[in-house]
């Protein structure tokens, strides 16, 4: 899905999202403001769910990776959409439980879970813990024993697949802090160890090969390697691993140049590979899990800012500063991620100005983008940065003691606040 499919321009020439005028939203709620389109989020959930129905007879579950954007209302929507939920910290788990999300549909990830987090997961009955390493396995088994419980686990496996993405988010290869490696026997060894333990039940294997991936081949290759591992485990130990979690990582369009695949094409291809491999190796077809994060919420979010000072440095560039920046969207500063921007109150006009969109932090690297083509921008204009629904609010900070913006959900021409704007009191709440 392209973000532009969810946006429009009304008779006033203003950008709209979910049937709401973005200039009015900015006036009503203030800027900076995150705006999320509910129908877009729900449509993304359904397209993944339907793909499991269509291509894999419904024998699977889509777990939303809540790190992309976690708040109570999103968890409630995921519950209504019958999704599972991937959490990676006690904070995400707490948020989900507070929202009434059923613990049994939660998967708990993380490469360095604390004792406190493991205990919390056991106490609250989280459905599956994705164990990263031996240190965690031993502690979890001991803790479950003390609590007189057994716990369903999966192992995070590095399938050795290079997904050709940004170095920071490439995780399937051996040099990664996540999981145990396939090729050096580490995976097989930890599986054998788990099978000797009384308080863990080995339900699944998991891999996640990176993020913002546009090719299908790495997913197919990873699925193949994982099925081969599952078949090897059955052959060598007799234990049948029932679940295969293929992680997330499906790319979205940040700009018109990006060519994202239809979300159902992942399941279409991967289910073929899974079925073929299982057939070839005489292994029963597993329950398949997917963990999309970015592609569920990313294209459905925009951020609205008010333009402030505009500085033209002759023959160099024009800095257009907005009232937010790396505090609400650190992705350009971190990864040089490219975004598109629109002057929301001039959305019908042609784009004819090139700007460096700067934030308001005391830091030169506080940019939202360079060489961005926009409508003729003046101070006071409302600027929309598109496709900011994922890894923006969730990675926001209070650098320079800047308050995090509010998040507004739009649907059918109506809007509601789902996360309040931080206040100055919030900033000093924990100061003594």
Question: Could you tell me where the beta strands, DSSP code E, fall in 159-252?
Answer: 180-181, 200-206, 243-245
Tokens 């499991």 correspond to 52
Block residue for tokens 């609590």? 147
Q: Residues for the chain: how many in total? A: 432
- Kindly tell me which residue out of 169, 281, 333, 353 binds ligand LLP, with binding defined by CB under 6 A: 169
Of 14-22, 233-241, 246-254, 278-286, which segment contacts ligand LLP by CB under 6 A? 246-254
What span, in angstroms and rounded, lies between the C-alpha atoms of 109 and 86? 7
17, containing H or E segment? strand 15-17
What's the closest the beta carbon of residue 305 comes to ligand LLP, in angstroms? 19
Q: Which of 127, 204, 293, 389 binds ligand LLP (CB under 6 A)?
A: 293
70 assigned to active site: no
DSSP string covering 143-172:
HHHHTT--EEEEEEEE--------GGG--S
Nearer to ligand LLP among residue 16 and residue 66 (C-beta): 66
> Pick from 370, 320, 321, 378: which is nearest to 349 by CA?
378
Least distance (Å) between residue 132 CB and ligand LLP: 10
Contact between 86 and ligand LLP by CB under 6 A: the answer reads yes
Which residue reads 């059955």 in tokens?
234
For the bound state, the minimum distance from the C-beta of residue 208 to ligand LLP, rounded and expressed in Å, comes to: 4
Give yes or no for residue 249 binding ligand LLP (CB under 6 A): yes
Residue 169 Cβ, how far from ligand LLP at the closest point, in Å? 5
- Minimal distance, residue 62 CB to ligand LLP, in Å: 11
Using the minimum distance from each CB to ligand LLP, give the nearer residue, 197 or 289.
289
**How many residues belong to the site for ligand LLP (CB under 6 A)?**
20
Indicate which single residue of 69, 155, 391, 393 sits in contact with ligand LLP (rule: CB under 6 A): 391
Q: List Cβ neighbours of 175 (8 Å cut-off, separation of 6 or more).
A: none
Structure tokens that stand for 176 in this block: 């990664």
Q: Which residues bind ligand LLP (CB under 6 A)?
A: 65, 67-68, 86, 109, 169, 208, 211-212, 247-250, 291-295, 331, 391
Residues annotated catalytic, as ranges: 362
């Amino acid at each position: 899905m392209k973000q532009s499919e969810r946006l429009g321009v009304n008779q006033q020439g203003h950008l709209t999202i979910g049937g709401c005028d973005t200039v009015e939203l900015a006036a009503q709620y203030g800027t900076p403001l995150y705006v999320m389109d509910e129908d877009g989020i729900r449509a993304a959930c359904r397209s993944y769910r339907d793909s499991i129905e269509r291509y894999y007879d419904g024998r699977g579950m889509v777990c939303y990776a809540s790190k992309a954007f976690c708040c109570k209302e999103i968890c409630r929507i995921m519950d209504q959409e019958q999704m599972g939920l991937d959490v990676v910290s006690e904070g995400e788990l707490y948020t989900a439980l507070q929202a009434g999300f059923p613990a049994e549909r939660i998967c708990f990830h993380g490469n360095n879970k604390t004792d406190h987090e493991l205990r919390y997961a056991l106490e609250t009955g989280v459905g599956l813990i994705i164990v990263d390493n031996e240190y965690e396995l031993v502690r979890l088994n001991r803790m479950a024993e003390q609590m007189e419980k057994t716990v369903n686990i999966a192992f995070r496996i590095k399938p050795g697949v290079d997904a050709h993405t940004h170095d920071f988010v490439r995780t399937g290869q051996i040099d990664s802090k996540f999981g145990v490696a396939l090729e050096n026997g580490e995976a097989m060894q930890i599986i054998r160890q788990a099978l000797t333990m009384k308080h863990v039940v080995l339900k699944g294997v998991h891999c996640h090969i990176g993020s913002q991936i546009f090719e299908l081949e790495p997913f197919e290759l990873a699925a193949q390697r994982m099925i081969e591992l599952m078949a090897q485990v059955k052959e060598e130990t007799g234990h049948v691993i029932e679940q295969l979690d293929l992680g997330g990582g499906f790319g979205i369009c940040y700009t018109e140049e990006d060519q994202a695949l239809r979300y159902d094409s992942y399941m279409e291809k991967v289910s073929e590979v899974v079925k073929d491999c299982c057939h070839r190796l005489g292994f029963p077809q597993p329950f398949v899990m997917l963990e999309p994060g970015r592609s569920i919420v990313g294209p459905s979010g925009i951020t609205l800012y008010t333009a402030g000072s505009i500085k033209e440095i002759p023959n160099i560039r024009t800095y257009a500063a907005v009232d937010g920046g790396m505090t609400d969207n650190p992705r350009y500063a971190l990864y040089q991620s490219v975004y598109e921007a629109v002057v929301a109150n001039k959305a019908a006009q042609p784009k004819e100005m090139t700007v460096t969109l700067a934030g308001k932090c005391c830091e030169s690297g506080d940019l939202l983008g360079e060489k961005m083509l926009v409508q003729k921008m003046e101070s006071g204009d409302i600027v929309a940065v598109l496709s900011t629904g994922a890894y923006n609010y969730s990675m926001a900070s209070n650098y320079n003691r800047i308050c995090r913006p509010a998040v507004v959900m739009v649907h059918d021409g109506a809007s509601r606040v789902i996360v309040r704007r931080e206040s100055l009191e919030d900033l000093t709440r924990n100061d003594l």
